[in-house]
Chains A and B, each alone.
Chain A
Amino acid sequence: MKAHLSRLCVLSLLAAILFVAQLPQVAAQGGEPQYFAIRGAKVVPVSGPPMEDATVVVARGVILAVGGKDVAIPADAWVIEGKGLTVYPGLFDGLTDVGIPSASPAQGEGGPRGGGGTPTAKGPEDRPGATPWRTAANEVSLGDKRIESWRNAGFTTVVSSPKGGFFPGQAAVLDLAGERSGDLVVKAPVAIPISLNPSGGFGSGFPDSKMGVLGYVHQVWLDLDWSSKAGAIYEKNPRGISRPRYDRVETALAGALEDHALVLIPANSALELRRALVLVDRWKIPGAIVGAQMAYEVADELAAKKLPILVSLKWPEAEKDADPDDVPSLRDLRFRDKAPSSPAALAKAGVKFAFTSDGIASPAEIVKAVKKSVDAGLAPDAALRALTLSPAEIFGVADRTGSIEKGKIANLVVTDGDLFGEKTKIKMIFVDGKRFEIREPDRPKDPPKGDMTGKWTLKYTTPEGDEETTVDLTMAPDGTLSGTTTGKRGTATIITGYASAEKFSFTINMPIQGNNEDVIFTGTFEKDTMKGSIAVLSFSIDFTGTRPPATAGSISLGGVQ
Chain B
Amino acid sequence: MSSTLSENQGPETGTARVKRGMAEQLKGGVIMDVVTPEQAKIAEDAGAVAVMALERVPADIRKDGGVARMSDPDMIEGIIGAVSIPVMAKSRIGHFVEAQVLQSLGVDYIDESEVLTPADEVNHSDKWAFTTPFVCGATNLGEALRRIAEGAAMIRSKGEAGTGNVVEAVRHLRQIKNEIARLRGFDNHELYAAAKELRAPYELVKEVAELGKLPVVLFSAGGVATPADAALMRQLGAEGVFVGSGIFKSGDPAKRAAAIVKATTFYDDPKIIADASRNLGEAMVGINCDTLPETERYANRGW
Q: A and B from one assembly?
A: no
* Interface, chain A (partner B; CB < 8 A): none
